[in-house]
Amino acid sequence: MPHLRFRAVEFDNVKAMSTALVDELQPLMACPREDFTVEHVSTTFIFDGEVSDAYPFVEVLWFDRGQEVQDKVAEVITRAVREELEDAELDVAVIFTALSPTAYYDNGRHY
C-alpha cells in the first residue's frame, strides 16, 4: 500500500519510471518503499463501438493522507508520466481511491 495502476501507458514506460517515481513518492506518502505496488494494466479503450486511443490514466489506491499530500502526489505522477512519454502537454488523469484501513487485510489482519 499504496497501489499505483497505470493504464494507456506502455509496460516498458511504466517499468522505466517506476524506481524514480517511488523514490519521489515515498517521502510524500511517509511509508516504506516495499509497501508500494506499481502495476501495468493492459487495457483497450472503446468509444462508439470502435477501439480508441486514450490518454494516460493512473489510479492510486491508498489510505487517505489529506488534500495537500494528494495534490502533491498527483503533480509528481503527472510530471513523471509526461517526462517519460516526452510530452509536456500530455493530458494525464490521476484518480485517487481512499481505502479504509479496517477493510484492507494483510495475511488475515486489517490495518
What does the DSSP assignment read for the chain?
Answer: --EEEEESS-HHHHHHHHHHHHHHHHHHHTS-GGG-EEEE----EEETTEEE----EEEEEE----HHHHHHHHHHHHHHHHHHTT-TT---EEEEEEPPGGG-EETTEE-
Confidence check: pLDDT of 12 > 90: yes
- Give yes or no for residue 60 having a pLDDT over 90: yes
Query: Per-residue pLDDT averaged across 43-55, rounded?
Result: 94
Q: Mean pLDDT of all residues in the chain? A: 96
Q: How confident is the model at residue 1 (pLDDT cuts 50, 70, 90)?
A: confident
Average pLDDT of span 85-99: 97
pLDDT at 69: 98
Name residue 39's beta-bridge partners.
Answer: 5
Q: Are 95 and 58 spatial neighbours (Cβ–Cβ below 8 Å)? A: yes
Q: Which has the closest alpha carbon to 111: 65, 73, 63?
A: 63
Average pLDDT over residues 47-53: 94
| Residue 7 · residue 61 · CB < 8 Å | no
What pLDDT sits at residue 111?
87
Note the pTM of the prediction, 2 decimals: 0.93
| pLDDT value, residue 106 | 87
